[in-house]
Amino acid sequence: MTDSSFTPQSPALVLGGSRGMGAAIVRRLAAEGRPVAFTYAASPGPAAAVVAQVEAAGGQALAIAADSADAQAVRAAVEAAVSRFGKLGVLVVNAGVLASGTIDQFPMDTFDRMLAVNVRGVFAAIHHAAPHLADGGRVVVIGSNTAERIGGPGSSVYAMTKAAVAQLARGAALDFAPRRITVNTVQPGPIATDMTADLMDYITPRLPLGRIGEAGEVAGLVAWLAGPDAGYMTGANLTIDGGWSA
C-alpha cells in the first residue's frame, strides 16, 4: 500500500549524481519517467553531460552545484529541486568521499571532511528533504559493504562513516514509518567507477563472482527500492558486492 501522493513518476533528487554510480542512478530514474534533480560538488562538465544524456533520451534533469559538507548548500539544493519539479517522491543520498589510511597516520582534516560529507551530509539531506517528500515516498542511502566487513587495513574511517549512516537510515525508517516513507541503505562493494580504477587488478581476483560490479547494477537496485514494488521494504541494509562479504 502506498500513499496516493506518491507515484512511479514522482520527482527524484539524487545527492551526488554527476559521476559513477550517482550518474547511473540519475539516468535510470529518469528512464523510468521521473524528473530528476541531482547535485555535484566539483564536476560541472560531467554534470552537464548527464543532463544532456537524460534530455536526449526524452527525460528531464536538473544539475545543482552543492557540496554535501555544507548543510545550507544541501538545503538550497532541495529547494531548487522542489521549485523546478515539485514535491519529491524519491531522495537518493549518494554523495560521499573516500580516503584510506591507518588510524595512526590518518590526517585529522581528512577525518573531519569524511564525517562532514559521509555522515553529516546524509543527515542534512534527509532532514532538509523531509518536509518536501510525498507521503509514501522513498529514501535510499548509498552506503558501503565496509559497514559489514572492512576487509583490510586502512579502511577504518571510511567503514565507520558507512556503518554510521546504515544505522541512521534504520532509525529514519522508524521515524518516517507513520508517513509510509521507506528508508533503505544500498551497500555496494567494488564497482567499476573512477574511484576504483587503480584497484581493479587487486580486487577482481578476490571477488567470488570473478568480476567487478557495474554502476548500472547498483542503479537497478536503487530503482527497485524507489518503485511501487518495494513499499513493504524499509529499514533494510542491502549489500550488493559480488559475494565479497559472504
Cross-strand pairs, 240: 188
- H-assigned helices in 177-234: 200-203, 215-226
* Per-residue pLDDT reduced to its tens digit, 157-180: 999 999 999 999 999 999 999 999
DSSP one-letter code for 117: I
pLDDT at 2: 44
Q: What is the largest CA-CA distance in the chain?
A: 52
- Answer whether 97's CB lies under 8 Å from 143's CB: no
Q: In what order do the strands lie in the sheet with 133-142?
A: 61-65, 36-40, 12-15, 88-93, 133-142, 182-188, 237-240
Question: Is the pLDDT score of 141 beyond 50?
Answer: yes
Please, which residues have CB within 8 angstroms of residue 200's CB and are 6 or more apart in sequence?
A: 192, 212
Task: Look up cell 576504483; give the residue.
Answer: 196
The DSSP code for 120 is I
pLDDT value, residue 7: 82
What mean pLDDT, rounded, does the chain reach? 94
Q: pLDDT tens, 34-46?
A: 999 999 998 899 9
Q: Within 13 Å and on the Cβ side, how many CA atoms surround 7?
A: 10
What pLDDT is stored for residue 4 in this prediction?
52
- The percent of residues above 90 in pLDDT, for the chain, comes to 85
DSSP3 helix / strand / coil % (the chain, rounded to 5): 50, 15, 35
**Structural domains of the chain, with CATH:** 12-189+216-239 (3.40.50.720)
Res 208 pLDDT > 80: yes
Inter-axis angle of helices 156-176 and 108-115, nearest 10: 20
pTM reported for the whole predicted model: 0.95
Q: What is the pLDDT of residue 242?
A: 94
Q: Which residues pair with 34 in a beta bridge?
A: none
State the catalytic residues: 158
Instruction: Count other C-beta atoms under 10 Å from residue 15's C-beta.
Output: 31
Residue 55, CB-side half-sphere exposure with 13 Å CA sphere:
10
CA distance 195 to 191: 9
| Strand bridging mode 12-15 / 36-40 | parallel
Point out which residues pair with 36 in neighbouring strands. Answer: 12, 61
CB atoms within 10 A of CB 100: 14
C-alpha cell of residue 135: 507521503
Indicate the pLDDT class of residue 151, thresholds 50, 70 and 90.
confident
Within 13 Å, how many C-alpha atoms sit on residue 64's CB side?
28
For cell 571477488, name the residue: 207
Amino acid letter, 232: Y
